[in-house]
Amino acid sequence: MMGDAIGAANAPLPPSRGVLYGVGLGPGAPDLITLRAARLIERASVIAYPALAGADSFARAIAADLIAPGAREIVMDVPMSTDRAPAQAAYDKGAAAIAAALDGGQDVVCLCEGDPFFYGSFMYLFARLSGRYDVEVVPGVTSITACAARAAMPLAARNERLTVLPGPLSEDELRARIADAESVAIMKVGRHLPKIRQVIDALGLTDAAVYIERASLPQEVVLPLADAPENAPYFSMILLTKGADPWL
């Protein structure tokens, strides 16, 4: 019995669980990554990130110069589809791979475009893993603040409201919400641009709206909405403020 007790006392302890870090990378320019995020990425032995199935990862491209050569990379191939099931399956698979690394005592740094909790893909992993593991979220520069800066367009002051709307909303809902708003940021414009432009024009607000695509990147475009192209990429946004000087 005493020998068993001594053997148990000398047995190696199981590794402590690792910590999952959800790291915001900002809108695209590598120099808009925060210092905290950069330090975590540089030290990481395990990196996780989403990628569109069959394509390179935009998140990885932003942080590429910070990733250590020997780091293990967990790639989550997420299909772009209106059917949510394939994407949910991809996050299930990614969460399982991350959990295995955490159980082995390794910290995992998960890369997320923009901010992890603002339309960020990391929130799907957070929902799957935060109940079992320690999770730390590192905020990032959001696309809204990046677009406002690049368009030189203050969005809200004092008690004014900023309304954030996703482009896929129905025409009627967009019209009602824009009509009731003071400043508006419309995200996920992409293929919904003709519908959004029509709604804004019908409200007589086209002259108050600015179109921005790929903010902070070399391919950046900033134009009055009236001059926006016919086709918009997914990484595009419309900002709209009512009144001549809403920030004064």
pLDDT along the chain (248 residues), means of 10: 52 78 97 98 98 88 97 92 83 97 97 96 96 97 96 91 96 96 96 97 97 96 96 94 60
Structure confidence at residue 3 (pLDDT): 53
Q: Which CATH number fits domain 144-241: 3.40.1000.10, 3.30.950.10, 3.40.50.10240, 3.30.365.10?
A: 3.30.950.10
The amino acid at 14: P
Could you please state the CATH topology (level 3) that the domain comprising 15-141 is classified under.
Cobalt-precorrin-4 Transmethylase; domain 1 (3.40.1010)
Structure confidence at residue 86 (pLDDT): 86
List where CATH 3.40.1010.10 sits in the chain. 15-141
CA distance 195 to 232: 12
- In a 3-state reduction of DSSP, which class is residue 190? helix
For 218, residues 6+ apart whose C-beta sits below 8 A from its C-beta are none
CA distance 138 to 110: 10
Look up residue 166 and give its two tokens: 């996703």
The amino acid at 122: F
CA distance 166 to 188: 6
Predicted model pTM: 0.88
Structure confidence at residue 55 (pLDDT): 83
Structure confidence at residue 116 (pLDDT): 97
Structure confidence at residue 185 (pLDDT): 98
Q: Is residue 158 left, alpha or beta, with left meaning phi > 0 and alpha meaning psi from -120 to 50?
A: left
- In a 3-state reduction of DSSP, which class is residue 18? coil
Residue with tokens 């698979």: 93
Q: How many helices (H) and strands (E) does the chain have?
A: 8, 10
Full strand arrangement of the beta sheet holding 221-224: 162-166, 183-187, 236-241, 209-213, 221-224
List where CATH 3.30.950.10 sits in the chain. 144-241
Structure confidence at residue 167 (pLDDT): 96
